[in-house]
Amino acid sequence: MTFNKKLLAATLVTAGGFAAISSANAATDSGAFDVELAVTATCSVTSVSGTQDIDFGSYAAGVDVTEASSSNPISVNCSNGTAYNIGLEGSGFLTDTVVPANQVAYSLLKTTGGDVWGNTATEVGGSGTGMATDQAKTHTVFASLVAGSTNNLPVGIYKDNVTVTVTY
């Protein structure tokens, strides 16, 4: 029995030694990886027929109508720091909805009595501050008619459709 106890003790000491040697010789390796997010520039424009319309109102023929503005400005949201420009493209003529040959010329303006707002990439711009609704930049559009341009117009409703383009 003494022999069995000695054998058992020797076996346990040997196994413990191997365990100690194994953990002393343990190795590790490591690596790394990236976490990435690509944010791309974006813009959105709010310009809705019936909402941002410019309405000169009703006038008797021969009365000078010189300028009007949109009741609600065009709203532009762009990614924070994204530069943008707004171009406007219309025919430049208000056309009678019944007799298209009847037309009156008009101009879209950047400010009251200001420069004509064209449809180029450098017209009216800004820099975005974010896409949240309260971060929208607003731009009012003004329109003008040449003095005396309504003198010989027949009675009717005259309209044009303007396309808003935001370049960013």
pLDDT of residue 96: 95
* C-alpha–C-alpha distance, residues 72 and 132, integer Å: 18
What is the structure's pLDDT at 61? 78
Q: What is the pLDDT of residue 7?
A: 47
Each residue's pLDDT, cut to its tens digit, for the chain (168 residues) gives: 554 555 455 554 555 555 555 566 789 999 999 999 999 999 999 887 777 788 888 888 778 777 887 767 889 999 999 999 999 988 999 999 999 999 998 989 888 888 888 777 677 889 999 999 899 999 999 888 877 788 888 999 999 999 899 999
Report the C-alpha gap between 28 and 63 in whole angstroms: 90
Within 8 A by CB and 6+ apart from 123, the residues are: 85, 86, 87, 88, 110, 117
How far apart, in whole angstroms, are the C-alpha atoms of residue 154 and residue 103? Answer: 10
DSSP, collapsed to helix, strand or coil, labels residue 116 as strand
CA distance readout (Å), 4 to 11, 15, 120: 10, 16, 99
**For residues 143 and 53, what is the distance between their CA atoms, to the nearest angstrom?**
11
Residue-level pLDDT at 59? 81
Bridge partner list, 108: 143
Q: What's the pLDDT score for residue 1?
A: 52
> Around Cβ 163, how many Cβ atoms within 10 Å?
10
Rounded to two decimals, what is the model's pTM? 0.73
What is 44-167's CATH number? 2.60.40
pLDDT of residue 5: 58
Tens digits of residue pLDDT in 76-91: 999 999 999 999 988 9
Domain ranges of the chain: 44-167
